[in-house]
Amino acid sequence: MTEYTPPRGMKDIDVEEMEKRMWVYDKIETVLRSYGFKRVEPSFVEHLETLTAKSGQAITAEIYHFKDKSGRDLGLRFDLTVGIARMVANNFAYPEPLKLYAISPMWRYDEPQAGRYRCFWQWDVEEFGSEEPYSDAEVIAVSLDAMKKVGLSGIRARISSRKLIDGILESIGTFDETKRLEILRILDKSQKVSHEELISMLKTAGLKNEDVEKLLGSARLRGSVDFVSSALGKSNAKIEEALTEIQIVWDELSSLGVSSMCELDLGIVRGLDYYDGIVFEGFEQSLGSLSIFGGGRYNKLTGIYGKRALPATGAAGGVERLLIALERKGVFRNLPKPNRVFIAIVSDEVRSHAIALCQSLRNAEIVAEYPIKKWSLRRQLEYADVAGFTHTVIVGKKEVQTGLYALKELKSGNQVELSLEQIINKLAPVAQHG
């Protein structure tokens, strides 16, 4: 017999998980909107050349790509930055700076593992039109605030700069663009492979022993801006420029009240080729090396996709990984459950009245249901108990005549007689603000 299951690396989202996701989305969106970000939705399917234009041909192996019926090479998006950058480059006429966000699914054909599927969801923020490091600081701050809002009290951002790493490479030797990007991709693996493997890969890329030692010594630098500046010195103009930008970011983060949650870490490189400035990753301290979000500056991406070339910076975080972090932190155990009311109907005579009552509760934004199966009163109440309702209201002839209804809280068993208006006043605030 055929077993119909999702393809490898895909998953269904059940009711319980979806409730958690919706709660997370609401919390994140509240923060993003408070910063002035507006929601968009780029196309799920892109031309393959759009996806590879600045992310590099190496990304092709991870893209779900195919030919359509007209022979065009298409692919499912693997991140949101590319699609939003393409939208901005071609379609938007809003005043700059332009601040956009999305919470959406994407696809990558890589090896499934815990918290990572081939179809996964991300929240994403992007700012276009500002070259100043102020924009980088705001994107870092909104990411930290969003993660605090969902309950990650130990969230920290580790910040670096592609420009700074380029300056360090420049102090070592001269590398063409292909070799430079290869070295950066290797450095991005520093948190995922052993020190010995990292050394081997860098030597394979053509670095001498002393160059590998100098590069990895710099990549291990972590701490304050002053400490890193002192350790590196200002050996060339690129390093000096990068350190000046980082200092501006730090001053801005201090004004935003989040600098205590940040650390300079030159081991943060970010793997995608389009990054060319400040880069960062967010970690929850209590969960070790589990990355919660990441991002950085990409000033040349929109210029590839249209006539409107804008400097930009952004951040994104995986929803599935965030759910794992929140589960480990026990956040979902403490969430208030919204009221759900089941209207039990004694007889067909009062069914219309009971349905009208149910609609009145719904109009007050209270979750309410009535039986859509021909059940006895006893069977209705049994269903309400096992289906997770918080309250029941029984509607019979007496209730119709008096306008008073027995509202029973199922958890405690407490029961009170109230009018429809009183029921709404009692339950609506929780339903609307819980």
Q: Does 310 map to a domain?
A: yes
CA distance linking residue 366 with residue 430, whole number of Å: 9
Residues 360 and 249 in one domain: no
310, 333, 356: which is the final residue of a domain?
Answer: 333
Task: Return the percentage of the chain with pLDDT > 70, whole number.
Answer: 96
- Put simply, whether the predicted model's pTM sits higher than 0.85 gets the answer yes
Q: Are strands 262-265 and 291-297 parallel, antiparallel or unpaired?
A: unpaired
What average pLDDT does range 20-34 have in this prediction?
97
Q: Read off the tokens for 411.
A: 């958890």
The string of DSSP letters for 62-90 reads GS-EEE-TT--EEEE-S-SHHHHHHHHHH
Question: What pLDDT was estimated at residue 199?
Answer: 81
What average pLDDT does range 198-215 have in this prediction?
80
Residues 227 and 373 in one domain: no
Query: Strand, coil or helix: what is 126?
Result: strand
**CATH code of residue 114:** 3.30.930.10
Q: How confident is the model at residue 334 (pLDDT cuts 50, 70, 90)?
A: confident
Q: Does 240 map to a domain?
A: yes
Residues 318 and 402 in one domain: no
Q: Does 412 map to a domain?
A: yes
CA distance linking residue 51 with residue 43, whole number of Å: 12
Kindly tell me if the per-residue pLDDT of 317 is higher than 70.
Answer: yes
Residues 39 and 114 in one domain: yes
Question: What pLDDT was estimated at residue 271?
Answer: 66
Contact 82, 108 (CB under 8 A): no
Q: Is 257 exposed, middle or buried (0-12, 13-18, 19+ CB in 10 A)?
A: exposed
What average pLDDT does range 243-270 have in this prediction?
93
Residues 138 and 111 in one domain: yes
Kindly tell me if the per-residue pLDDT of 322 is higher than 80.
Answer: yes
Q: Does 371 map to a domain?
A: yes
Kindly tell me if the per-residue pLDDT of 234 is higher than 80.
Answer: no
Query: Strand, coil or helix: what is 93?
Result: coil
Question: What pLDDT was estimated at residue 288?
Answer: 76
Kindly tell me if the per-residue pLDDT of 96 is higher than 70.
Answer: yes
> Amino acid identity of 333?
R
| Residues comprising the chain, all counted | 434
The string of DSSP letters for 332-352 reads GGGPPPPPEEEEEES-GGGHH
Q: Does 7 map to a domain?
A: no
Q: Does 255 map to a domain?
A: yes
333, 366, 396: which is the final residue of a domain?
Answer: 333
Q: What is the mean pLDDT of the chain?
A: 90
Residues 245 and 384 in one domain: no
282, 306, 333: which is the final residue of a domain?
Answer: 333
Q: Does 31 map to a domain?
A: yes
Q: Chain centroid to CA 144: how far?
A: 11
Residues 168 and 145 in one domain: yes
- The region of weakest confidence among 135-139, 144-148, 298-302 is 298-302
Question: What pLDDT was estimated at residue 221?
Answer: 87
Higher pLDDT, 379 or 179: 379
Structural domain tally of the chain? 2
Question: What pLDDT was estimated at residue 430?
Answer: 47
Contact 270, 294 (CB under 8 A): yes
Whether residue 371 is preceded by a cis peptide bond, meaning omega within 30 degrees of 0, is no
**CATH code of residue 405:** 3.40.50.800
Higher pLDDT, 254 or 205: 254
Tell me which residue range forms the domain holding 199. Answer: 15-333
Give whichever of 74-88, 199-213, 297-311 has the largest mean pLDDT: 74-88
What average pLDDT does range 220-247 have in this prediction?
87
What average pLDDT does range 384-388 have in this prediction?
94
Instruction: Kindly report each contact of residues 405-409 with a partner whose C-beta sits within 8 Å and lies 24 or more positions away, as own/partner.
Output: 405/357
Q: Does 262 map to a domain?
A: yes
Q: Are strands 340-345 and 367-369 parallel, antiparallel or unpaired?
A: parallel
Residues 85 and 218 in one domain: yes
CA distance linking residue 267 with residue 218, whole number of Å: 8
Helices 420-433 + 351-363 axis angle, to 10? 40
Residues 322 and 288 in one domain: yes
Higher pLDDT, 3 or 349: 349
CA distance linking residue 13 with residue 113, whole number of Å: 17
Residues 322 and 370 in one domain: no
Strands (E) located in 190-301: 222-223, 262-265, 278-284, 291-297
Q: How confident is the model at residue 347 (pLDDT cuts 50, 70, 90)?
A: very high
